[in-house]
Amino acid sequence: MQKALLLSCSIFMAIVQTTSAQDKPEWKQVFSSINKEALDHSRAYETLKEATETIGHRLTGSANGKKAEEYAYNLLKSYGFTNLRYQPFEVESWSREI
């Protein structure tokens, strides 16, 4: 859970840093340390690589889309999140039978 939160915070902070850190120099050190932690210890690219190699193309409403939802759900569970649930949504899609 801490890693997922750290990654989310670092992305948010990177955006905020470019827009408001210039106005508040005292925040620059905080943003720099969060950014360094994310760059040095993030598993974001490893996770993306694993998902794309094991699931492949993930069109919404497709079988691989369902696999991607399960992957994300299980990943968040592994981070320690406990209040997880799927949110239903409707999508119109088609597929070509080959």
Task: List, for residues 29-64, the tens digit of each pLDDT value.
Answer: 888 888 888 888 888 888 989 999 999 888 777 889
What is the pLDDT at residue 24? 78
pLDDT of residue 25: 82
Same domain (yes/no): 54, 21: no
**Residue predicted with more confidence, 17 or 93:** 93
Considering the domain architecture, whether residues 29 and 53 belong to the same structural domain is answered as no
Domain check: are 54 and 93 in the same one?
yes
Are residues 79 and 50 part of one domain? Answer: yes
- What's the number of domains the chain is made of? 2
Where is 90: in which H helix or E strand? Answer: none
Instruction: Report the pLDDT value the prediction gives residue 14, as an integer from 0 to 100.
Output: 63
**For residues 75 and 47, is the Cβ–Cβ distance under 8 A?**
yes
Residue with tokens 């005292």: 26
Same domain assignment for residues 48 and 26: no
Q: Token pair 């949504």 is at which residue?
A: 89
pLDDT of residue 59: 79
Q: What is the pLDDT of residues 10-26, one digit of tens each?
A: 666 666 555 555 567 88
Full-model pTM = 0.55
Confidence of residue 1 (pLDDT cuts 50, 70, 90): low
Higher per-residue pLDDT: 90 or 53? 53
- The label of the residue with tokens 């069109």 reads 59
* Domain span including residue 76: 43-98
Instruction: Please tell me whether residues 51 and 67 are part of one structural domain.
Output: yes
